[in-house]
Structure 1
Amino acid sequence: MKSFSVRKTLDMLPVKNMDTLLMQTYGPDFQIHDVEWKHLTDPGENFGSIILAVNINAGHNDKKRTLNVVVKLPPRSAYLLELFDSPLTFKKELEFYSMVAPEFLKLQNESGIPRESISVIVPQFLGGRLGLHDPQHFDEQAAIVLENLKSYNYITQDRIIGLDQVHMNFAINHLAKLHAIAIGLKLKKPEFFKKTVLPCLEFNLHEATEKATVDMIQKAHNDYKNIKEAEAYLNKIEKTIEYGYTHDVTPEEPWATLVHHDFWVNNMMFKYDESGKPINMKIVDFQLTVYNYGVNDLIFFLVSSSQKEVLDNHLDDMIDFYYDSFIASLKSLNLDTNAFPKSQFMKQLNQCAPIKFNQCIMMVQVIQAARGSVSQTATEDGDECVFTGGIDDDNYKQKMLHVLSTFNRKGWLVE
């Protein structure tokens, strides 16, 4: 990965009052001496925020301390701020990391899960604010500070290639745990869930976001019209797209949970043992969370992130594995699993799948975008988001056809 050059002075750091942010974790004696920082992701790999890697030399209780952190900041351009509804999405993510994620750990501990088996699903939160002058009011200095997972040897996989079966199953297991733990919190601590968790899951499409989403779906639809191999399916494609606009599934309890809503390759990081086997994983980017059926995350993840042969040969196996992992996680929290029968799960899956078609086809433009096809200017200062993926790009075209064939094979297209 090409990284921006390292910059070494604290006064050049785009994050003001960084020490105050870290005092939230390390206390009032924390004092920064110097920093090194750089942009963590290439242009085009993350549109909704600016992500910095910051290495900090600090003093803490008269001792020297070195910290490797990631700081998430809002995008710079007014267009992107509006497109991603940053005031809302930053607030949602900040509240998730600061108030909800710690309760996930606490619930597992209280349920008697051994310490070595507790799932630490997200990076450690170290500090955050909505604004510099008023921590509760959004401004351009909104910030979320997390541990830098790369310094602990976590890495992302290749979004264009997708995940092999080992990585898919590893991620499915973690996704199932995320959904089960949120349900456990709802059932065991209903007042906390209602007061603290549900507000983090409220999400209404901003007008600019809705327009951009519709534009991307329309582009995908037009691309299908220009792909010869899709010609026989155009009627089903049109009906399924329209169905996604006009239908919604109201989740039945007790199944509704925290849905990540953007669970694909770029939003997870894996850690490996010496043999290259994944031994841990963290999920990132919780700004789009909603309250719905967990199968919404599962469907999008399977279709967006599996390598072709894995999806072709193991789709039903992965669906079964998710359900089994979900039930096992509920049991580990001492919950009654009779309320979560497999028949209802499969019904939800087939209800939600046609509605997820739109997200699956529009996101191919992002996931299969050629590396380097989006400039730094476009992501930081531009007034529109342009994805160059099109049917002339074979990766894009083949993925669009594969999404189509997968939905058709499973009977998820609307007749």
Structure 2
Amino acid sequence: MGEVPKVTDLAQVIEPHLPEGSTLESYASRYLTKPGDNYGSIMLAVQAKIRSADGATRELPLIAKLPPLTNDLYWQIFQPERTCITENAVYQYLSPELDKLQLQAGVLPALLFDGFPRYYGSRISLDSRSSKVDRDAVLVQENVTVHGYQPGNRHRAYNLAETILVLHYLAQYHALPIALRLKKPQLYEEYVRPFFKKFDMNTNIDQAERDQMNNELLKDIKAATSDESDVSRIKELMAMYDAFQAGKDVDDGLFTTLVHGDLWINNMMLKYDEQGTPIKVKIVDFQIAQYGSLVHDIIFLLFSSVDVNVLEENYYNFLRIYYDAFIQTLSVVNVDTSNYTYEIFLEEVQKVAHFQLPHAIFMMKVILADNSTIPDDYKDVDFSVLSKNTGIKTIVTKFEAILRLAKKFNIFY
């Protein structure tokens, strides 16, 4: 794995977020994720030793997230100049404002939305005057695994109980920023909107690379269907998705909010009780969060991360469950929901859903990638992972299912 990158002056980042008088005495760090599980950043598990004002010391398990320092290709694609600033804003501005909004509406502290990990500071550069992200950027948050949260396993899709839990959290994550925009428009304009502009990951990917990826994808689509018109529709959808990503910032609408943009199984941590019942969720990795229709997250989540049989039996259920939780969240913070009818929500689904099919299809190549094709070292992960996984039975089978269900639920065209 090579040497673990150092975090210069970690104390300066986390001490303002510790109890008064506490200081960082020392820390040790190691790589957190395996290659293939995280592309846009380097994740370190940090064991910090904190000395409190009365002299007692305690261990504080943290996670430090650094931009992709060692991989120039990823620096280019993930554009930390934008993605770090967006992700920091979720913890720096959005999360505390959503807490305040709920408290001011009378929500009990123990019942606040708890879908974000606790924040322990961030910076974009060692130069405090700099507005440009550089290689000393870092975001520090609690290591939620010590509280029993587990990362998803990309080879095991969500079951019914897990999906219901995640949809409840997703509905809150989408509804609260809408409430903030409606109830505190000035604050929203200043602290939220500027950080969630449209983001196009394709901008810096070489056209030849893109063509190669698309051709590999289409090979698998051809293996999954004998119908030529399916293949040409997927091609069309891929072009539409690219155009959408490269498009302008979205106007305010009933259902426009802070879309996570990458809500698949690896970007959610679930906590289970002793019986194995899923009880809580932390959503992570907001690098490509952007303003848009909440339908993008719902469809991408369902098609990328939920077990095929569960999705087939419950698609309409899931939409209803999400909608009810969404309305409930708005009501709790006193937003008038009379415009938000279920029919209008379903129209929004029909209008937007198909854009996310190519996204889910592309992601399956990553999610179902054979572990043996993923290099051991971060520096060596590149797009060849995708082509090495062309023709794998699990991927072709999943593509068949995506096409079949998209048609069945009337979101293919």
Question: What's the offset of the Cα at 1:303?
Answer: 0.5
Q: Distance in 2 between matches of 1:311 and 1:33?
A: 49
Q: What's the secondary structure of 1:140's corresponding residue?
A: coil
Question: Would the alpha carbon gap of residues 138 and 252 (structure 1) be closer, same or farther in structure 2, given more than 3 Å must change?
Answer: closer
Give the distance between the partners of 2:26 and 2:154, measured in 1 at CA.
Answer: 35
Which one is further off, 186-195 or 23-32? Answer: 23-32
User: Residues 239-278 of structure 1: matches in 2 within 5 Å?
Assistant: 239-246=236-243, 253-278=253-278
Instruction: Verify: 1:93 aligned to 2:90, yes or no.
Output: no
| Map of 1:150 onto structure 2 | 145
Output one character per residue of 1:167-186: Cα deviation in whole Å (capped at 9) or x when no partner. 00100010000111010110
Mapped contact 2:374–2:381 kept (Cα < 8 A) = no
Alignment counterpart, residue 66 of structure 1, candidates 59, 62, 66: 59
Q: Report if the CA contact (8 A) 1:365-1:389 is conserved.
A: no
Measure the CA separation in 2 of the matches of 1:358 and 1:294: 17
Contact 1:273 1:279 in 2 (8 A): yes
Residue 387 of structure 1 aligns to a residue whose secondary structure is: helix
1:365-404 matches, within 5 Å, as: 365-377=365-377, 379-380=378-379, 386-388=385-387, 390-404=389-403
Aligned to 2:312: 312
Aligned residues: 405
Aligned to 1:187: 182
Q: Contact conserved, 1:217 with 1:361, CA < 8 A, in 2? A: no
| 8 Å Cα contact 2:33/2:43 also seen in 1 | yes
For the pair 1:112 / 2:106, whether they are aligned, the reply is yes
Q: Do residues 335 (structure 1) and 335 (structure 2) align?
A: yes
Q: Which residue of 2 aligns with 1:168?
A: 163
After superposing the two structures, state which structure 1 stretch, 323-332 or 244-253, moved more: 244-253
> Using the alignment, how far apart are the partners of 1:230 and 1:19 within structure 2?
59
Counterpart code for 2:33: T
- Partners of 1:352 and 1:105 in 2: CA distance: 29
Shift of 1:199: 1.2
Structure 2: which amino acid aligns with 1:225?
A: K
Percent pairwise identity: 27
The superposition leaves residues 59-86 of structure 1 with CA deviations (integer Å, 9 ceiling, x where unpaired) of 2313313210000001122211011111
Q: Residues 214 and 29 (structure 1 numbering): CA distance in 2 closer, same or farther, change over 3 Å? A: farther
1:133, CA displacement in angstroms?
Answer: 3.0
1:131–1:142 CA contact under 8 A, matched in 2: yes
Task: State whether residues 44 and 373 of structure 1, in contact with CA within 8 Å, keep that contact through their aligned partners in structure 2.
Answer: no
Please state whether the residue corresponding to 1:317 is helix, strand or coil.
helix
Q: Answer yes or no: is 1:205 the counterpart of 2:200.
A: yes
If the length of structure 2 is used for normalisation, what is the TM-score?
A: 0.91
Q: In 2, are the aligned partners of 1:263 and 1:297 still within 8 Å (CA)? A: yes
What's the secondary structure of 1:338's corresponding residue?
Answer: coil
Q: Which stretch of structure 1 is more off in the superposition, 55-64 or 189-198?
A: 55-64
Shift of 1:393: 1.6
Among candidates 7, 10, 29, match of residue 15 of structure 1: 7
Q: Distance in 1 between matches of 2:216 and 2:274?
A: 44
Q: Is this contact kept in 1: 2:268–2:283, CA < 8 A?
A: yes
TM-aligned CA distance change 1:279 to 1:201, over 3 Å: same
For residues 387 and 396 of structure 1, the distance between their equivalents in structure 2, rounded to whole angstroms, comes to 11
Cα gap change, 1:165/1:389 in structure 2, threshold over 3 Å: closer, same or farther? Answer: farther
Shift of 1:365: 1.0
Consecutive unaligned residues in structure 2, runs of 5 or more: none
Distance, in Å, in 1 between the alignment partners of 2:56 and 2:301 is: 44
* Distance (whole Å) between structure 1 residues aligned to residue 112 and residue 210 of structure 2: 37
How far the C-alpha of 1:99 sits from its partner, in A, is: 1.3
Residue 233 (structure 1) aligned to one of 230, 234, 250: 230
Q: How far does residue 392 in structure 1 lie from its aligned partner after superposition?
A: 3.1
SS of alignment partner, residue 62 of structure 2: strand
Q: Contact (CA 8 Å) 2:369, 2:385: kept in 1 or not? A: no
Which residue of the other structure, out of 52, 56, 60, is the alignment partner of 2:48?
56
Deviation of 1:42 (Å): 0.6
Moved more, 56-65 or 223-232: 223-232
120, 124, 127: which one aligns with 2:118 = 124
Q: Deviation of residue 21 (structure 1)? A: 1.1
- CA separation of 1:244 and 1:33: change in aligned 2, threshold 3 A: closer
Query: Is 1:221 paired with 2:218?
Result: yes
Deviation at 1:363, TM superposition (A): 0.9
Amino acid at match of 1:123: P
1:47 deviates by: 0.7
2:76 aligned residue: 82
Deviations 1:7-54 (A, max 9, x none): 9xxxx7611111111112127854333323211111111010010111
CA contact (8 A) 1:224 1:230 kept: no
Distance 1:208 1:402, change over 3 A: same
Q: Distance in 2 between matches of 1:283 and 1:115?
A: 19
Change (3 A) 1:108 1:401: same
SS at match of 1:339: coil
